[in-house]
Structure 1
Amino acid sequence: MTPEQLSTAVHDVLGGLVERRVLTLPDGLPARVTVERPRQAGHGDWATNVALQLAKKAGTTPRELAELVAADLREVPGVGAVEIAGPGFLNITVDAGAQAALAADIVAAGASYGSSRTLAGQRVNVEFISANPTGPLHLGHTRWAVVGDAIARVLAAAGATVDREFYINDRGNQMNLFGASVEARALGEDVPENGYHGGYVADVAAQVVAEHPGILELAGDERTTAFREAGYAVQLRQQREQLERFGTHFDVWFSERSLHEGQDVVSSLEKLRAQGHLFDADGALWMRTTDFDDDKDRVLVKSDGDLTYFASDTAYYVDKRRRGFDVCIYLLGADHHGYVNRLRAMAACAGDDPDRNIEVLIGQLVKIMKDGEELKLSKRAGTLVTLEELVDLIGTDALRYTLSRYPADSPLTLDVAEMTKQTSDNPVFYVQYAHARVASLLRNAADLGLSVDPEGFDPSLLTHEKEGALLRTLAELPRIVASAAELREPHRVARYLEELAGDYHRFYDACRVLPQGDEEAGDLHRARLVLVGATRTVLANGLALLGVSAPDRM
């Protein structure tokens, strides 16, 4: 019996009390009833504080309301006992059979277990990397490549329709400098002083010449432009390939140029002017963002006629809303705190609700330590260490898991040796080892002619304390995923997996699953195999939400 099923049962009990006029709720029934694990062991399997929440509205005391709910809840099939604690908490104990039946449901659900319809009907755009196509992706991009992807995964698992979007900063003088740098490398000349000096530029230049052998026959601005565009294509392709290898897929690669090549910027500004939020001053065009808590008004078109970056930001947001997204989530770096209020104000100027239609998440800096020193220099980029180098050094799974298990707004200092060691105090190893241990046990079961049979087992046999603890944790995954999605906090999944791995290891140590020696396989062995199969499903599903593999052998 899952917490969701119990929540529905309590909700139905409240509805029945209202229908029988035993209870009056002027504001109607709550949308949902929260059912959680009790804080103290021995206080039942699940608990709810619904009586404390509704008593005042119902014109009664929490304890009196709890007594009414408890009396009917005890008659619900699968509920073993209901006790009232303190001022009116309801502590619920589930029948062992009803609780253990969940194991079969998990095995049957497979990869879909943990998913819900909590956010069904919402279209969400998650923009979580915004980079120039002028160099390799680096450590700053790496954190968002992990966290943004994990946010998108939990949102989709909670029922939302999600698009992952990469914003390509392919407009501006940096593109011209990049093109000139690639051209200089191809010609064997010095790179411009303010150009790009990393060793990767020579690699890009060589690839451009290999793909476009006639490019060196061009001259002047035509050749520089050709190198810029060809270098742009090579570098962007490399960024795509690096991210795909890292397990981060984008549905949309959105070019900043495209906003200016079409009429997107012009039409966006016309829309805002029609709504009365633009004004002219000092020969420039401004947005009156101070009407919506920004610290100052923002320039859109400068006095020389050039568009500002904020004009692009505005057109880009309007374009997203035009594409039908209900919520636009931006994941920005630690140096972008000032963008939060201006983007929210911009959404308000566009006629939207900044509390509903736009979210700006700020990620803090990450330091990677190796042998007591911070990794700063890249062999190829010359400055920041690259995503590709980090993967080579740490590994995709260890890097993804470690970066996803902390809140994005917390600064991190991580050590290479700690992330890569093969011991139980390394969280990623601990969780993956639990899955590998499950897989090994199931292989041994197959050698004995046993398999996970969710239809042919007796759930009432799973009465051991460690079996109950494991089942209660398995039941939590849908709630954890929904919470991670609603709060945009995928680290909740990682912490849950560590708790689950611990519960499985304790169960394994206390409860023998397979027969030994000449012992015949019995019903208890078969029941425990179903529980093991359910654990494997949940570990694999949780790791998949973080983009981390679930190995069968370690």
Structure 2
Amino acid sequence: MTPADLSRTVLHAVRRAVDEDALRAPVPARVRVERTRPGGSGDYACAVALQLAGHAALPAREVAALLRDRVVGAPGIGRVEITGPGFLNFTLDASAGAEARAARVREVLDAGLRYGRVTTEAGRLHRLHHPPEVRAAVLAQSVARLLRTQGGQVLVGCTEETDPRWEDLGVRVGLRYGAEESAGIRPVPARATAAALLDRLGRDAALWGLQRPAAHDHATLGDDLLVQGEPNPLFLVRYAHARARALLREGERFGLTAAYETDVDAPALHAALADHPGVLAAAALHHAPDRVARHLETVADAFFDFHATTPPLPVGDEKPSAAHRSRLALAEAAGKVLAGGLFVLGISAPPHL
């Protein structure tokens, strides 16, 4: 793990703590880590807890403990200690990091679309209600799916008569009850009907446009959602999934089967896969499907970087090897996470684009 990797890992921990409402402070643009000075503890030290303590209205050592809990066990980190007024000190462990990455990839492949699902909310019933408006109906449905990823049971109701065209967007509303009985889903309205959106954009693009912006922002429903290229994040997310599936099919021509046998140098992609369970939990807690959409963009970007710098398939005179099998396994894991996230948003993940 490089200092830049460690900095990103600590920054991920800060974001997780803020997303989970454990820490109320602004997320810094970057986190600085430095080599430990002579006589210090560990390989690297970081003072971010001291920087956040004032904003969070917490002692720096308490902030450091929150971050330590979210960094311990991360790939490449062997030990995390808190010293002095609230410094985080890291001892690196390359072998432990490789083992953790291998275990995570295998976990994703074993769990498939269910990777990141937990039973934390098992036995808890959530009641959601929304006004008779298409964006609210769509977000309520995705929030319900998110709560189910945490083990919860969910009932969704509309306060008034529903639009039958909502069903073409995957919305199922079988109940009617008022605000006093449930949690309200009230985003900024889309100012469009389900019929108009479906006719102009189709189901998947309409769902992405309704959910990608945060609920307090206006939905972006322009024709750019239909662009088959880089300017369209939805296309990139679905293309990354389709490309991962294509790599597996192409691997068969070389006699390659995905199997994570040797460590793959793709820190951004490994980090994105590791973040997925936390993203689902935070999105469920805050009723925010937009967090899932943004995370899928991160996974797709990391996948394409990995694909460009570490080709999963033999190139030129290369012979198929354990390294290629491992890269294929990582590509397959990325595809599983992308498909699972799209499912939460109600969007299809076709194997071909």
Q: TM-score w.r.t. structure 2 length?
A: 0.75
Deviations 1:172-205 (A, max 9, x none): xxxxxxxxxxxxxxxxxxxxxxxxxxxxxxxxxx
SS in 1 for 2:116: coil
Choose from 220, 224, 236 the match for 1:430: 236
| In 1, Cα distance between equivalents of 2:346 and 2:80 | 40
Amino acid of the structure 2 residue aligned with 1:544: F
| In 2, Cα distance between equivalents of 1:42 and 1:524 | 31
Residue equivalent to 2:19:
none
Choose from 144, 153, 158 the match for 1:152: 144
Deviations 1:244-272 (A, max 9, x none): 3222223x233x7xxxxxxxxxxxxxxxx
- 1:62-211 matches, within 5 Å, as 62=61, 79-80=77-78, 82=80, 87-91=86-90, 93=92, 95=94, 96-101=97-102, 102-130=104-132, 141-169=133-161
Whether the 8 Å contact between 2:47 and 2:87 is mirrored in structure 1 is no
Residue equivalent to 1:365:
189
| In 1, Cα distance between equivalents of 2:333 and 2:216 | 33
Amino acid of the structure 1 residue aligned with 2:187: G
CA pair 469-247 structure 1, distance change in 2 beyond 3 A: same
Q: CA deviation at 1:42?
A: 6.8
Q: Is 1:253 equivalent to 2:204 in the alignment?
A: no
| In 1, Cα distance between equivalents of 2:207 and 2:60 | 49
Q: CA deviation at 1:422?
A: 1.3
Choose from 327, 335, 338 the match for 1:536: 335
Q: CA deviation at 1:517?
A: 4.4
Whether the 8 Å contact between 2:109 and 2:332 is mirrored in structure 1 is yes
Q: Is 1:448 equivalent to 2:254 in the alignment?
A: yes
Structure ID, larger Rg: 1
Whether the 8 Å contact between 2:211 and 2:219 is mirrored in structure 1 is no
- 1:231-310 matches, within 5 Å, as 239-240=163-164, 242-250=165-173, 252-254=174-176
CA pair 152-430 structure 1, distance change in 2 beyond 3 A: same
SS in 2 for 1:476: helix
Whether the 8 Å contact between 1:431 and 1:501 is mirrored in structure 2 is yes
| In 2, Cα distance between equivalents of 1:550 and 1:491 | 17
Q: Is 1:330 equivalent to 2:252 in the alignment?
A: no
Amino acid of the structure 2 residue aligned with 1:330: G
Aligned sequence identity (%) = 29
Deviations 1:218-248 (A, max 9, x none): xxxxxxxxxxxxxxxxxx7xx44x2332222
Q: CA deviation at 1:81?
A: 5.6
| In 2, Cα distance between equivalents of 1:548 and 1:541 | 10
Residue equivalent to 2:217:
410
Amino acid of the structure 2 residue aligned with 1:165: G
Q: CA deviation at 1:553?
A: 1.1
Whether the 8 Å contact between 1:48 and 1:91 is mirrored in structure 2 is no
CA pair 41-481 structure 1, distance change in 2 beyond 3 A: farther
Q: CA deviation at 1:503?
A: 0.5
Residue equivalent to 2:283:
484
SS in 2 for 1:547: coil
Residue equivalent to 1:185:
none
| In 2, Cα distance between equivalents of 1:508 and 1:407 | 30
Whether the 8 Å contact between 1:440 and 1:552 is mirrored in structure 2 is yes
Whether the 8 Å contact between 2:146 and 2:280 is mirrored in structure 1 is yes
CA pair 445-162 structure 1, distance change in 2 beyond 3 A: same
Q: CA deviation at 1:516?
A: 3.0
Whether the 8 Å contact between 2:80 and 2:89 is mirrored in structure 1 is yes
| In 2, Cα distance between equivalents of 1:152 and 1:92 | 41
| In 1, Cα distance between equivalents of 2:228 and 2:246 | 18
| In 2, Cα distance between equivalents of 1:247 and 1:431 | 20
| In 2, Cα distance between equivalents of 1:157 and 1:512 | 33
Q: CA RMSD in A?
A: 4.0
Q: CA deviation at 1:521?
A: 1.1
SS in 2 for 1:499: helix
Gaps of 5+ in 2: 1-8, 10-21, 35-42, 54-58
Residue equivalent to 1:545:
344
Choose from 164, 176, 194 the match for 1:387: 194
Deviations 1:407-458 (A, max 9, x none): 112234542x2121112111111111111111111110122222223xxx32
| In 2, Cα distance between equivalents of 1:142 and 1:152 | 15
Q: CA deviation at 1:123?
A: 0.7
| In 2, Cα distance between equivalents of 1:94 and 1:105 | 21
Amino acid of the structure 2 residue aligned with 1:363: P
Choose from 310, 314, 337 the match for 1:511: 310
| In 2, Cα distance between equivalents of 1:450 and 1:484 | 37
Q: CA deviation at 1:545?
A: 0.8
Q: Is 1:525 equivalent to 2:324 in the alignment?
A: yes
Q: CA deviation at 1:84?
A: 6.8
Q: CA deviation at 1:40?
A: 3.7
Gaps of 5+ in 1: 1-5, 7-31, 55-59, 131-140, 170-235, 257-312, 321-327, 332-361, 368-384
Deviations 1:6-31 (A, max 9, x none): 9xxxxxxxxxxxxxxxxxxxxxxxxx
Q: CA deviation at 1:52?
A: 9.8
